[in-house]
Amino acid sequence: MQIFLDTAEVESIRKYAAWGVIDGVTTNPSLIARSGRVFEDVIAEICGIVEGPISAEVTALDTAGMLEQAAPLAAIAPNVIIKVPLTPEGLRATQVLTGGGTKVNVTLCFSATQALLAAKAGATYVSPFVGRLDDRGECGMDLIEQILQVYSHYGDFRTQVLVASVRSADHVRQAGLLGADVCTVPPKILDEMIQHDLTDSGLAAFLKDWESARKA
């Protein structure tokens, strides 16, 4: 499973990219707004840090507007992925962009039927939002299971399932168990993923024994 970092904070991306386990980055308009920086500058800087796919989301609601916004974003670097919403206009933009060789991440997916449409439009990625479903009492991971099952029946579907809106390390564990292609993870969840008290206490014990042996 690929791990993307779900943030527009460049310093954070630098920090976690150094771990050597980050395959790409996802951003959205809220994350870009939170960074307080110019959209294109942030995307360009991220592309200079991580070689893998970097999602940059359009904000236009009509297909022509999406395509207009996509062109300069895609020109920033070859690894930019254009993110479009799961709407009729977004599906049409997906068809046009993928037809022209630009990769697309179809976002804001909340059902298996939406994911089916994203695949038919030729999306490179579909982003089901598990956390937002959990937030309202549904089971986000059930949706991942359904989408993977639907896609598994059709060999011509190339769309990768990108688990988004991740709220816990357990979401990542479940995504891996289900065989999702990608999981995009906020930095604080990456910290949660690596943490284990037995690793900490085990390391402390090893170092203590090592120092005792050297003094003996």
Verify binding: residue 37, ligand E4P, rule CB under 6 A. Answer: no
Q: Is 125 in the site for ligand E4P (CB under 6 A)?
A: no
Question: What is the distance, to the nearest Å, from the Cα of residue 145 to the centroid of all Cα atoms in its chain?
Answer: 17
User: Out of 26, 69, 124, 159, which residue is the one contacting ligand E4P (CB under 6 A)?
Assistant: 26
Q: Which of 70, 86, 119, 164 binds ligand E4P (CB under 6 A)?
A: 164
161-183 CB burial, b ≥16 within 10 A, e <16: bbbbbbeebebbebbeebebbbb
Output 30 or 212, the one with its CB closest to ligand E4P: 30
Rule CB under 6 A: say whether 184 interacts with ligand E4P: yes
The one among 10, 44, 77, 131 contacting ligand E4P by CB under 6 A: 131
Maximal CA-CA distance, the chain:
75
Told to judge if 103 belongs to the known catalytic residues of this protein, a careful annotator would answer no
Q: How far apart are CA 123 and CA 11, in angstroms?
A: 30
Show the tokens assigned to 76.
């920033």
Closest residue by beta carbon to ligand E4P:
165
Catalytic residues: 83
Name the residues that contact ligand E4P, by CB under 6 A. 6, 26, 28, 107, 127, 129, 131-132, 164-165, 184
